[in-house]
Amino acid sequence: MKTYLKLNNDVLNRYNTTGQLELEKDREATRRYFLEYVNVRLRYFIDIEEKLRYLVEEGYYEKEFIELYDLEFIKHLYKKAYDYNFRFPSFMSASKFYDSYAMKSRDGEEILEKYEDRIVIIALYLAQGDAELAERAVEAMMEAYQPATPTALNSGKKARGELVSCFKLSMDDSMNSIAENIGYCLELSRLGGGVGVNLTDLRPLGDPIKEIQNRASGVIPVAKLLENSFSYSNQLGQRNGSGVVYLNIFHADIENFISSKKPNADDKIRLATLSTGIIIPSIFFELMKRDKDIVLFSPYDIYKEYGKRMSEISISEMYHELLDNPRVRKIKRLNARKLYTEVKKAQFESGYPFEIFDDNVNEVHPLKNIGRVQMSNLCTEILQVQQKSIITDQDEPNDYGLDVSCNLGSIDMHEASKVADFGKLVDTAMRLLTNVSQMTYIKNVPSVAKANKLMHSVGLGVMNLHGHLVTQGIMYGSKESIEFIDGFMEALNYYSLKSSMEIAKERGETFYGFEESEYANGNYFDSYINKEEKPFQTVTIRALGNVPIITAAMWKELAKGVKKYGLFNSYRMAVAPTGSISYIRSCTASIAPSTERVEVRDYADSRTIYPMPFLNNDNAHLYVEAYDVNAYDLIDLYAAAQKHVDQGISMTLYVTDAWTTEQLAKIYIYAWMRGIKSVYYVRQRLQTLEECIACQI
Amino acid sequence: MSNIIYEAVNWNKPTSELAQVFWDQQWKQIWFPEEIAVSKDVKQWQSFEHQETYKKVFAGLTLLDTVQTNIGMNQIATYATDLQEKAVFTVFGAFEAIHAKSYSYIFTTLCTNTEIDELFEWVKKNEYLQYKATKIADIYNNIEEGNSESLWKAMFSSVMLESFLFYSGFFYPLYLGGQGILRNSAEVISLILRDESIHGVAVGFFAQNLFKQFSKQKQEELTVWGYDLLLDLYQNEMDYTDDLYAETGLSPDVKAYVRYNANKALMNVGFEAMFPEEEVNPIVMNGIRNEGSTNDFFSQKGSSYAKAKVASITDETFNFKNRI
């Protein structure tokens, strides 16, 4: 047995049995890991020149991007990276990096890259010959910026996957479109992507086909086809593709859709590995509040009547019109409270479906004049406009619309509070993300390629909130924590806009449709320019560190600049759940509370024990575990962040099995009322038997 | 026609302390083997060094779960007097059947038909396995109507089986799974373990209640009987472990784990621990966590979702006076 695994496991075992954290065991595990595993496999190179020559000649690195720089500069960059004296802070970070990110020889025997080497290669690759940007990229990544996994993993490699891995597709109500989109799913899955598909516009079970009644099979069989496509295309057996399907809650197939994830669902409708999400317009909550029935519709009727697809209209605005129109069938009436209770039951039993609050998304959508946001992605943080492609018969050309690919990156909030120039950090991150979007060409999915070319959307997010709060003595969910996230995200929003404006100015180009956006007409900035400037508490100011507090005057100035030069990126921010990348950096995930002080992480084929960053025997009380955080406080915190994020934030809710479906419904309703755009998983902690008996006796 | 009067089970009035709690907890954690993608282990399995040991571990467990389904829980349910407790034992029995079947599910995924047939033959021939099965089954089969001593002995044996004898087998998948080897089969085992730990606590709890009713003298007599049985089974378990794990070099680790669980089994029935405390391999210890560990959408199904407690949405659900 490997001694480092035993040592790493001992951290948890000791913590469980004695309540004491023995971090030296984890440090020892890391040390042993290097001695027993890494150092013996690490290929030795005389110098950087030899290293690069070898890796290029052997076909590990692409040659082209390296040739864009002169060797002296590259050497200087390596030195710069190594001068940070980086050390992996935990066994988790070291093993995650060497298991999954470092370049290895083809037979898997030799390790060809250390952490610093990977950072330099990412910087050189993404900077595309811009030496200044490459240098800034090394600084940013050694300090506080982390590109998402596909970018971090694939940059510079000759045999590589794509740099982006998040896609949204929109299916139309025709066999051509269904077949075409299944093809896209196979392609994107092969590239390692997570794909979201909107099924809202498909006609439901029992609808007519060519006017013949009772012919359509509905959305579930299509979902099954997608599920099979994702499992088939599995990156050489590395990992299965992943996908999510979305459906509007007013769609006539909604009941089957909700039950499809339950473990005891009928095999014919059961979705075993595909994720599900529902889109909920505000009218649903209003009807539920008044204890009314809701009426389910068919997108087939809506399209026939109004020439628009179900996902292209606001159901909240159109609901009464649809009810009054005799040519729109009222397919089924359901009590809204009962239906929502079914949703809650399914969430308890399976964690699904995700929920997207349609009007919360679209009311503040900066591109609302260009189109509606109709769905989200696999982690519910991407919320972008789409336009349907018209897929024709094989003898006619298709008319491609806009679908979505998104490339992500995250800022470590703790390190960001310490960098010399926060604005520069954000600008570097935005430029790297923008370059990724420019370098990405998904040729086999034309609607994605087209959108990428026109929209340059990116998603800059954050991580390590809980970790940072612990270092500041702030309790997660407290007033101070909410004030902190509010201030931080406002600054991030401000500087990402500023950066996008600078890029537009330099390139003399904006994203497609900028003129019609809320940025161009200035509406977007109103609430910022007119904001009431309250002084922050001392503890918040200390926690923000070097992150500037943005004043109304600064916003006013920025609004002017944006009006003049435009923005290069149609979307800028999205807060991802950050799995692996937060592990490499020893961060807590996203802006979420940590689920356990000492976490057991099962990831694909390994189990690793991960004591939370900065955790020690004295601050353990600050690491209140997610299940013990008041759910309403958690939602308030996310709502404070959401105000400053043009897209979404992956928000998981944490409950125990003592909760009822009603209590769960209540926190979702609260989230909707607070302007939250999406809810990702519900995670449930099962009480153990000892706890149950303890509360009985 | 006999003149027995049949009584209906009335769950509206608790007749047994905690029967409802055990019932709820068991149903809450219902699972089926098909939910776990064991097929993801196939690739690792093909190059796995100790296939023989691994298969035999699972075959041995199958036998124990079969005995527990067909004889153990059935017999205890038949002779237990409280109707609610009877119901709980019957439910436990159903879960034992799921467990026994889940090993077959793993075999079907990993092994050929010939291999499977050979394994079931091996079970019939392995003296240590047959010894413990016979020993326990005899006690089950000797329960007599109205003889609470014989019922207590059966409950005691049931706890020994579920909290102690299983663990020489559980060790291996937990040990491997914790190192990222055959993770999905280990997930099945951790779900089985989650059930067995309720069974051990519940049956042990009922046994303790029964025990209290015995005279001091009887208690002492049964205590001696209990430790004797445990020691007897323990000797056999040590031999079984040597036999099973010989080629892996893991015997000492397995034995430490078996002793650790023997102590736990004794505590479940209210007896003093017998073996001195010793270090158990932390990887295996971490494998018995009952909370769901953190997974993401690329990973295996987590073990932490359960049945919902339904309550209606009312006007009050929309009242947030305290918050907004």
Q: What is the pLDDT of residues A81-113, one digit of tens each?
A: 999 999 999 999 999 999 889 999 999 899 999
Q: Rounded to whole angstroms, how far apart are CA atoms B200 and B270?
A: 12
Residue A240 lies in a domain: no
Residue A20 lies in a domain: yes
- Write out chain B residues lying below 8 Å of A349, CB-based: 305-308
Distance from CA of A1 to the nearest CA of B (A): 9
Question: Out of A331-335, A453-457, A657-661, which region has the weakest mean confidence (pLDDT)?
Answer: A657-661
The mean pLDDT of A46-70, rounded to a whole number, is 96
Q: Which of A91, A104, A79 is closest to A2 using CA atoms?
A: A91
Residue A669 lies in a domain: no
ipTM: 0.89
Check CB contact under 8 Å for A351 and B307. no
Query: Could you say which of A113, A381, A483, A599 is catalytic?
Result: A381
Q: Would you say B208 and B80 are in contact if contact means Cβ atoms under 8 Å apart?
A: no
Name the residue among A9, A275, A660 with its Cβ closest to that of B283. A9
Residue A369 identity: N
Check CB contact under 8 Å for A660 and B311. yes
A residues 589-628 closer than 8 Å to B (CB): 595-596, 599-607, 609
Residue A231 lies in a domain: no
- Residue A408's H or E segment, with its range, is strand A404-412
Name the residue among B43, B281, B294 with its Cβ closest to that of A595. B294
Check CB contact under 8 Å for B296 and A5. no
- Write out chain A residues lying below 8 Å of B32, CB-based: 263
pLDDT for residue A240 = 64
Name the H helices within A336-456. 336-350, 358-363, 413-416, 422-439, 446-455
The neighbouring-strand residues paired with A655 are: A684
CB atoms under 10 Å from CB of A214, counted, come to 9
- Please give the span between the terminal C-alpha atoms of chain B, in angstroms, as a whole number: 69
- Write out chain A residues lying below 8 Å of B314, CB-based: 662
Question: Out of A653-667, B6-20, B123-137, which region has the weakest mean confidence (pLDDT)?
Answer: B6-20
pLDDT for residue B232 = 97
Residue A276 lies in a domain: no
Q: Which of A36, A44, A124, A37 is closest to A77 using CA atoms?
A: A124
Check CB contact under 8 Å for B28 and A1. no
pLDDT for residue B37 = 81
Give residue A326's pLDDT band: very low, low, confident or very high (50, 70, 90): very high
Give residue A696's pLDDT band: very low, low, confident or very high (50, 70, 90): very low
Q: Which residue would you say has higher pLDDT here, A213 or A399?
A: A399
Reading the block at residue B222, the tokens are 């049964």
Residue A568 lies in a domain: yes
pLDDT for residue B24 = 85
Residue of B nearest to A2 (CA): B179
Give residue A652's pLDDT band: very low, low, confident or very high (50, 70, 90): very high
Q: Which residue would you say has higher pLDDT here, B219 or A695?
A: B219
A residues 14-43 closer than 8 Å to B (CB): 14, 16
CATH superfamily of the B38-289 domain: Ribonucleotide Reductase, subunit A (1.10.620.20)
pLDDT for residue A1 = 64
pLDDT over 70 for what percent of chain B?
Answer: 93
* Coil, helix or strand at residue B9: coil
Total structural domains in chain A? Answer: 1
pLDDT in tens, A232-259: 876 555 556 689 999 999 999 999 999 8
Check CB contact under 8 Å for A340 and B313. yes
Check CB contact under 8 Å for A607 and B25. no
Give residue A692's pLDDT band: very low, low, confident or very high (50, 70, 90): low
B294, B295, B307, B310: best to mutate for the A interface, most A CBs within 10 A: B294
Residue A89 lies in a domain: yes
A594, A605, A660, A670: best to mutate for the B interface, most B CBs within 10 A: A605
Q: Would you say A647 and A489 are in contact if contact means Cβ atoms under 8 Å apart?
A: no
Q: Rounded to whole angstroms, how far apart are CA atoms B96 and B192?
A: 9
A to B CB pairs, distance under 8 Å: 162
Residue B295 predicted with pLDDT over 60: no
Mean pLDDT taken over chain A = 93
- Write out chain A residues lying below 8 Å of B191, CB-based: none
Give the distance, in angstroms, between the CA of residue A449 and the centroid of all CA atoms in the same chain. 20
Q: Rounded to whole angstroms, how far apart are CA atoms B95 and B107?
A: 19
Q: Would you say A653 and A625 are in contact if contact means Cβ atoms under 8 Å apart?
A: no
Query: Could you say which of A379, A415, A483, A587 is catalytic?
Result: A379
pLDDT for residue B36 = 83
Range of the domain at A421: 3-158+404-580
Check CB contact under 8 Å for B317 and A602. no
Residue A468 predicted with pLDDT over 80: yes
* Residues of B annotated catalytic, as ranges: 103
Q: Would you say A199 and A222 are in contact if contact means Cβ atoms under 8 Å apart?
A: yes
- Write out chain A residues lying below 8 Å of B297, CB-based: 194, 242, 275, 378-379
pLDDT for residue B293 = 44
Residue of B nearest to A265 (CA): B35
Check CB contact under 8 Å for A344 and B198. no
pLDDT for residue B109 = 87
Check CB contact under 8 Å for B282 and A661. no
pLDDT in tens, A386-412: 999 999 999 999 999 999 998 899 999
Domain boundaries, chain B: 38-289
pLDDT in tens, B141-152: 999 999 999 999
Residue A695 predicted with pLDDT over 50: no
Give residue B290's pLDDT band: very low, low, confident or very high (50, 70, 90): very low
Asked if A326 is an interface residue toward chain B (Cβ–Cβ < 8 A), one would say no
Residue A153 lies in a domain: yes
Q: Rounded to whole angstroms, how far apart are CA atoms A26 and A90?
A: 7
The response to whether B199 counts as a known ligand-binding position is: yes
Q: Rounded to whole angstroms, how far apart are CA atoms A264 and A257?
A: 14
Write b or e for each residue in A252-272: b if 16 or more Cβ atoms lie within 10 A of its Cβ, otherwise e: bbbebbbbbbbbebeeebbbb
